[in-house]
Chains A and B, each alone.
Chain A
């Protein structure tokens, strides 16, 4: 009689342990991440021409940009570039930005304070070193232009 009572007691304790459970609610988010960086200090000088024609444009491909974007294909981003002030009359500064794996370069785009889309369709990209190629051209009527500098601002914006 006593032995049977002991077995029953142990079974009851074991049953209580299996039934002990709890739940936890974990809140999580992954934000829309669109991070870019730019390196380089491009410098361009026009100092030659093919005699009888216009001035020979100068290019500089030492700039680099990097991007990380987790935007899905349904919400692509674009890279927008603009100057802090417009170029002198007759002088044009253009930019060719290489595109990440998921993106499309717009080719050479003239830069101004209005800005231009230089890469579109950016999504799901992690590209560390993409080239930035600048091209400087000038009309004869621009004359000689003293050394100057412009700040190019790159911005990731929502858009196709």
Chain B
């Protein structure tokens, strides 16, 4: 009688272990994921331009400053970089910018800056780039006369467009 009870208990324990192993050697859970639309640009530098000379008989010589750069990371397509000034330049004074383009995009060359936005780089698509040169050029007519030191804020914006 006693031996019968022991054998029964051992058999039951053995069956329980086998069942547990088969049921739990695999487990799973869900992982959620997403990637946001990312459009980031940055500009570095504090450019300064002064017109100080002229070739006698000609208009004052324009000056350039290429100490600034811009950077971009976007995972979007069909983007362009626009630039604008916080206010227009004085009459007879022109400020232009030429922005180097990241891979696959196109620089528009020198574009005159004003309070209205102008496209400086087009065809930007899913790219990362840094150290992209911004070259400013300042020119003035004789009629502008002498102008004391002033500053403008240039705003760059990445917008959707060809």
Contact = CB atoms under 8 A, between A and B. Distances in A.
Report which residue of A26, A45, A51, A143 has the largest number of chain B beta carbons within 10 angstroms of its beta carbon: A51
B10 interface: yes
Contacts of B36: 45-47, 144
B24 A55 contact: no
B124 to A, nearest CB: 11
A153 B27 CA distance: 6
A147 B33 contact: yes
B34 A42 contact: no
A156 B72 CA distance: 45
Nearest to B22: A31
Contact of A45 (B6, B21, B33, B41): B33
Interface in B13-38: 14, 17-18, 20-21, 24-38
Interface stretch (B50-58, B127-135, B136-144): B127-135
B35 A138 contact: yes
B7 A26 contact: yes
Nearest to A31: B17
B72 A48 contact: no
A47 B35 CA distance: 6
B93 to A, nearest CB: 31
Nearest to B74: A140
A145 interface: yes
Interface of B: 3, 6-7, 10-11, 14, 17-18, 20-21, 24-38, 40-42, 71-77, 126-131
25 contacts: A26-B10, A28-B14, A31-B17, A33-B21, A38-B29, A40-B29, A41-B31, A45-B33, A45-B34, A46-B36, A46-B38, A51-B42, A52-B71, A52-B73, A53-B130, A55-B75, A65-B27, A93-B31, A138-B35, A140-B73, A142-B75, A145-B33, A152-B28, A155-B26, A156-B26
